[in-house]
Amino acid sequence: MPRFYFPVNLIPDSEWTLPDNLVRHIHVLRLRVGEQITLFNGDGAAYSAQLLQLEKRHATCRVLFRQPENTESPLSIKLVQAISSGERMDFTIQKSVELGVVAIQPVMSERSVVRLSGERADKRVQRWQEIAISACEQCGRNTIPDILPIVSFEQYLRQKSDELHILMSLRQARSLKDLPTPTRVTLMIGAEGGWTQAEENAAFSANCQAVVLGKRVLRTETASLAAIAAMQTLWGDFV
């Protein structure tokens, strides 16, 4: 059943006029009046709805019932991702949301090629949030991961929380399977070229744990997804 993000207070038997972007998508899918769609607003549930009216630029629906399905992993993974260039960052955000991260913190690292600030940074974060929403529509998640405002890597380390922080690095590294089983974990991935030695030293001073995945060096967009999948296999809901 087609799924759409609709951030309103969805209540069974309520009727809604759908926004233009959803109307366009409904036409692309060639849906008809009377067919059912799935709506979600980020509250953790999905809502079945029926199309009541469908015109070229106008559509209405009635919410039928709430589906309190939980599609979240028992392992809470936050991704701290150094901003990468081109489409790599978009790809990383899309796929990490599909794999189950609960939040993404973009950071500026010394080796980040793309430098963002001010209005340009705000627009990029908004775009990444839209990518996260689209990924939730596709993969069946009913909770939207937050894309947090961009900060420097140094700023992040100063304000970081106390849960397990895993840094992808070849220095002082351990295997994931050798770590105690967490319920919350933060994964820290460098940009192209990885973290600098100064950044790694700062992370180690902030009690971050270095881990390595195998004997091969992974690209930034590969490292994050491989590590998330490995953690979901060891500690989450990949069975």
Do 219 and 126 reside in the same domain of the chain? yes
50-54, 89-93, 167-171, 227-231, range with the lowest pLDDT: 167-171
Helix (H, G, I), strand (E, B) or coil at 232: helix
pLDDT for the residue numbered 216 = 85
Task: Kindly report, residue by residue over 68-122, the tens digit of the pLDDT.
Answer: 888 999 999 999 999 988 789 999 999 999 999 999 999 998 887 777 778 888 8
pLDDT greater than 80 at residue 25: yes
Q: Residue type at 221? A: E
Q: Of 27, 46, 67, which marks where a domain is finished? A: 67
Q: Are residues 60 and 167 in the same domain?
A: no
Give the CATH number, domain containing residue 140. Answer: 3.40.1280.10
Domain count, the chain: 2
Q: What is the pTM of this model?
A: 0.92
Q: What residues make up the domain containing 193?
A: 76-235
- Residue 167 in tokens: 């840094």
Which residues are bridge partners to 82 per DSSP? 107
Q: What is the pLDDT of residues 41-63, one digit of tens each?
A: 999 999 999 999 999 999 999 99
Last residue of a domain, one of 14, 49, 67: 67
CA 19/CA 99 separation, integer angstroms: 28
